[in-house]
Amino acid sequence: MSQSLLYHAFGVREGYEYLKTGYVEGRVEFHLGVKEEALVCPKCGTGPAMRRGKRWRRIRTVPIGLKPVVLVAEVPRCQCRQCGHGFEVAPLLPRATRTTRTGSPTTPAS
């Protein structure tokens, strides 16, 4: 799986980098990390901030054939080196219903 395929097929945009693919119970799960340069303090604009932990968001996206596809995206918890502000970074990810204009399957897997 290439990063550019993730960009073009699943609408994954700047701010993320591809980590790995998992195959779980018939699902395909693409794991995405947030790039260091996206860790910018929303308060004072300084970056990159220090990482203080993370959680993971799971987003169902368009299926590959009959296999459901889930984006597993990192949400880093950060603290600004400059002003000490604590924040989470969650670059925008597409919803399945918004990525279906290009002739790919339009029915989200259920």
- What does the block give as tokens for 4? 């550019």
Residue of 83, 86, 104, 105 that binds Zn ion (CB under 5 A): 83
Going through the chain in order, the beta strands assigned E by DSSP cover: 16-24, 27-34, 50-64, 67-79, 86-88
Stretch in the footprint of Zn ion (CB under 5 A) among 24-32, 64-72, 73-81, 101-109: 73-81
Residues 25-54 that bind Zn ion (CB under 5 A): 41, 43-44, 46
95 in contact with Zn ion (CB under 5 A) = no
Taken as a whole, the chain contains a residue count of 110
3-class secondary-structure state, position 16: strand
The site for Zn ion (CB under 5 A) is made up of 41, 43-44, 46, 80, 82-83, 85
